[in-house]
Structure 1
Amino acid sequence: MTAVLFDMDGVLVDSEDYWVEFEREDIFPATVPDEKVDLAETSGMNFREIYDYLDEEYDATISREEFVQRFTEAAEEIYTERVELLDGLHDFLAELDDRGVPTALVSSSPHDWIGMVTERFDLEGEFDRVISADDIDAASKPAPDVFEYAADELGVPAADCVVVEDSANGIEAAARAGTTVIAYRIDAHGDIDRSPADEIVDSPAEIRERVLALTAGE
């Protein structure tokens, strides 16, 4: 394995805890007040595509503009005030860099949101590529497009990439891209389908251990 692709939300930062709360308590009741939507249906999707999905499947009762505005306001608070960084990430990235393993941050979030995280936690320049689903005119997760694009940007075949993902849609997308998938199990997602993953881990230490082993060919 010769490259590592990291999801942002739920992996690099613990934002899924806050996004799940926001979606369950605020945005979903406002958008589809008469429906009980399983959050796993939209987890890992770009937030604009979440609106399109809710509108198509359940008939949204607020406008796309209002939906986007609410998400944007929530994002600023979550990323600049609430989230914490994956434990030991700076040392982990430095170790991968020392080994000559290219890395990418690959997210469904827009670059503005990614920038809040990279600036706050001094991650600017720490990844070889920072990729948003907004960079490509293609389907969001669970489609494999964003991971295929990231592998191409790094100049590494998707089959030689390790992806660390937490959401059901993200895990499926990475598996469909032909990568080796490490599923990071977090409480925010509950008992989702992680069966497409090659391995399941439960802590930052386990992420580091398995990524280093896989990139070393173990």
Structure 2
Amino acid sequence: MMENTDLKKLTQAISCVIFDCDGVLVDSEILASQASLRMLEPYGISMTPQEYAHLYAGKKEEDIIASVQKDFNINLPDDFLSKVRLEIEHSLDHDLQAIAGVVETISPLPVTKAVVSNSRLVRVISSLKVAGLTELFGKKLFAAEMVERPKPAPDVYLHAASELGVKPSECLVVEDSQSGVTAAHSAGMHVIGFLGASHIPDGHENTVRDVGAFTVASSMEELAQIFAEVFDEYSIK
């Protein structure tokens, strides 16, 4: 395995690895984008799921709806948020898949493992169950509803570090979205940009690097290689 020279930027011992959920542990962003676009089609909004995810992935649903109304100069019904949530949840319940290799990659980590998400906690819990990751993280789950400001603000990451009893500088974060990378980097954490989900557009490596990712992984296999360089005790059996 070749040395990843970007890892030379890691000068602090890592005591915790934190994962975003959507687009890192489960391939959910593309499903959420497809469901949202089905609901938005009657209002004249047409784009590919990848384009939609590029604009809105990693943000809270209510913030996405507010942005859509502003970006496309439309007014959506008061019950649109609740209806689109139901549509998304239906899609996730039936079609959600774990990112390939996620269990094998995360299981051997020799440090604390946690999840930090902009999704509602109930959805995070459901997604982890689908991915077979519930036991790996236990109750170390943190959602934007626990803090005043969601990603891209650093609040939820700082809250997680406080609750876990670790310094932000001791945390290694795996994030897929511009919003998430910005949040973790602003919190003073080391961020890996993950590019292995279906919604990731061409050129996204530059996007996540520009907002603070010090290296990227295009798959769980590449992420495992990074972990092997960071942790002497890490190996996939």
Aligned pair in 2 of structure 1 residues 91, 29: CA closer, same or farther (>3 Å)? same
Kindly state the Cα deviation for residue 174 of structure 1 after the two structures are TM-superposed. Answer: 1.4
Cα separation, 2, equivalents of 1:11 and 1:39: 14
Asked if the contact 2:105/2:220 (under 8 Å) is kept, the reply is no
Q: Deviations over 1:145-187 (max 9, x none)?
A: 1111111121111111111011111111111111111001144
Kindly state the Cα deviation for residue 212 of structure 1 after the two structures are TM-superposed. Answer: 4.0
Cα separation, 1, equivalents of 2:53 and 2:158: 25
Aligned pair in 2 of structure 1 residues 9, 38: CA closer, same or farther (>3 Å)? closer
The alignment status of 1:167 with 2:148, answered yes or no, reads: no
The alignment status of 1:88 with 2:101, answered yes or no, reads: yes
Question: One-letter code of the match for 1:12?
Answer: L
The alignment status of 1:194 with 2:204, answered yes or no, reads: no
TM-score relative to the length of structure 1: 0.84
* Equivalent residue, structure 2, for 1:176: 186
Give the stretch that moved more between structures: 170-179 or 64-73.
Answer: 64-73
Cα separation, 1, equivalents of 2:100 and 2:30: 16
SS at match of 1:189: coil
Give the stretch that moved more between structures: 112-121 or 208-217.
Answer: 208-217
Q: Deviations over 1:59-108 (max 9, x none)?
A: 44222422222223322321x22122133333433312xx2x11111111
Question: One-letter code of the match for 1:26?
Answer: R
How many positions carry a matched residue from both structures?
Answer: 210
Asked if the contact 2:175/2:191 (under 8 Å) is kept, the reply is yes
31, 45, 54: which one aligns with 2:59: 45
SS at match of 1:126: helix
SS at match of 1:131: strand
Asked if the contact 1:162/1:211 (under 8 Å) is kept, the reply is no
| Percentage of identical aligned residues | 25
* Equivalent residue, structure 1, for 2:17: 4
Cα separation, 2, equivalents of 1:7 and 1:30: 32
* Equivalent residue, structure 2, for 1:118: 128
Kindly state the Cα deviation for residue 35 of structure 1 after the two structures are TM-superposed. Answer: 8.5
Cα separation, 2, equivalents of 1:108 and 1:145: 11
The alignment status of 1:22 with 2:32, answered yes or no, reads: no
TM-score relative to the length of structure 2: 0.78
Asked if the contact 2:69/2:76 (under 8 Å) is kept, the reply is no
The alignment status of 1:149 with 2:159, answered yes or no, reads: yes
Question: One-letter code of the match for 1:136?
Answer: V
Question: For the aligned residues, what is the CA RMSD?
Answer: 2.5
Please, which runs of 5 or more residues in structure 2 have no aligned partner?
Answer: 1-13
Kindly state the Cα deviation for residue 41 of structure 1 after the two structures are TM-superposed. Answer: 3.3
Matches within 5 A, 1:54-73: 54-73=68-87
Please, which runs of 5 or more residues in structure 1 have no aligned partner?
Answer: none
131, 144, 167: which one aligns with 2:142: 131
Cα separation, 2, equivalents of 1:107 and 1:179: 15
